[in-house]
Chains A and B, each alone.
Chain A
Amino acid sequence: MPESTSVSSRRSLLFGAAAAVTAGGLLTACTSNEPSDKSDGGSKPADQPVADSKPGKQVTIGFAGPQADHGWLNAITDNAKDRAKKYSDVTLEATEGSNDTAAQIGQVETLINKKVDVLVVLPADGKALTQVGLKAMRAGIPVVNLDRIFDTPQAYRCWIGGDNYGMGLSAGNYIGEKLKDKKNAKVVELAGLDNLELTKQRSQGFDDALKNYPNIKKVARQAADFTVESGQAKMSQLLQAQKNFDALWNHDDDQGVGALRAIEQAGRDDFLMVGGAGALSAFEAIKSGRGVLKATVLYPPTMAASAIDLARALGQGKGIGGMAEFEIPAHVTLYSAVVDETNVDKYMSTGFK
């Protein structure tokens, strides 16, 4: 039996003034990651339909994200909205983005009260939003946790997000392959905001990848703030400190705009640069082939569109095509693909401004 039906019937139980506490406990069990047939009984494998683009049951998806104060987050919101528009059976209730934890909790609670069928939440702070995720799950609303992860798997039905460690790994391996024949090769890292855990993960992945290439040494690492201004300032100092090196990995394409400006101002072109995230400006620079930027590793904002797909499938009680599972998986970790001149055209449409 499709999960959504069971969810809505249980919710009607809840709103039918049955013992709310008992119902809440029951709901937690059913919307958690346990196989649904345990509670649903007679569902047959062959009955499990797979999500496709054909119109199905109407699904209202609540979407709450952080304030779109820079390129990538902006693209996240756009991706979610555009994807929802594609489906005639999806209604999207999107809240105004907020970086204030209390405000975002309030917004998610509002969506719960509006009785949306499924929630997609990209929390400004995953840990801080955990409780409201739990609350939604207990209310029988499956939560798709987008990117910044809640503290407990009980707070979401499905998590989809990027792979920060994988970004570092992909960048390191790409640079490693380019420099593998070069003796005593030197690389430099322009990291993102060091206060964020994701920055450490990106650096760790990069360092681990470089271990496969003993001829390469990381000679400098400086952290910027994910902004153009900080990228320009830190990069110009790195260029002054390192008079010659072979490759640069920059964690973020937004600060990369500033970094590229610093490289241009210093008149340097003696190394290859790999970016991170997948901004349109980076894709265009890679395509032109003129500057030092040769590749960027993805942390794709298209994950928001995929989150809408997953939410719709959850709402309609369908699985994913091409997989043997009856249910949507609990975790989907995106791959940090490397985009360079060979495949940039394919990714151009996903580039964000």
Chain B
Amino acid sequence: MSRPFLAALPILVRRERALLAAAVLAPPIALIVTVILNLGLYVAMGGDPAAVVYAMLIEPFFSWASFSEVLLKAGPLLLIAQGLAIGFRAKVFNIGAEGQFVLGAIFASAIPIWWPDATGQWIWPAMLLFGTVGGAFWASLTAFWRVRLNANEILVSLMLSFVAVQLLNYLLLGPWKDPNGFNFPQSVMFQYDAMVPILIEGTRVNVSIILALLLSIAAWIFMQKSFIGYKLQVGGLAPRAANYAGFRESRAIWLSLLIGGAAAGLAGAAEVAGPLGQLQRSISTGYGYAAIIVAYLGGLHPIGIVLSAVVMAALYIGGDNAMVSANLPVAAVRVFQGSLLLAYLVAIAFMRYRLAWRPAATRSPI
């Protein structure tokens, strides 16, 4: 059949042992390849590559105004990705972080919307707590469907994200709409005490980035040092062995989804109590999906994820910059994200395989 054509291609040969250097080099190499491919696309679309490179890759790191926004965006991405990565390592694919993020924002907003006149330093911490519960609650629906009804968690969590967005629309067009908001689908502006304290004067960077970093350390300890984290990883790598060892799959699913949902919910709460200051439709901008890329690009490792969250946040800010200065459509960021993950998945293959131009040995049929 297509044998002559396939024979001309190099084949993959499994390495004796996984190459650690490839694991470390894969993300930067993938990034470089993606930048080149996407610049080619922009040039083909009539863009100015120099302007795009400056706006996307240089400005976010060399202007304080831009970099503070990078930090602001990195917070939610970091939180969500850390939560998701724990599940992914246990082979529990929670793709519905977007919905859990939205539910976190909704739960957190309930406090300032129901008690707009309340004052006190307890309000924003209570909102973060409520948001965490909201995200975990939304993820628990998926966990229940997966454990009790055996339904695929990818599909259920994703469908619940669509439902969450409609729930948000319903609240903002109905009961939670700001009566003095000129009919805009948004809630009232929250009171001062409902806002997460600003960390760096003159920027929008708030305490939630510290929270995200602390939880990253917690995730590292949990995954690398704790027995439960170890059980989760074993369950992901060798489900049968884990089963024999008495590690229950259903517990791993519940734990993975609840952690992922709680982290996404916290991120959603920090978003309404932080830069937004109210509940609005634009809360759902795809953080939950971008965080999947952040998690993989960070090698599903807590430290790698911190780096990849900053890269992805810079990409968002750079994309915004390029939209203004180099006339780049905003959708280009999504194309960049998708191709970055693909390039990474190819690059990471070289950790386990090497290319060989000829089959090692042609075997006799018997």
Q: Do A and B bind?
A: no
Q: Taking beta carbons and an 8 Å cutoff, which residues of A are in contact with B?
A: none
Q: Taking beta carbons and an 8 Å cutoff, which residues of B are in contact with A?
A: none
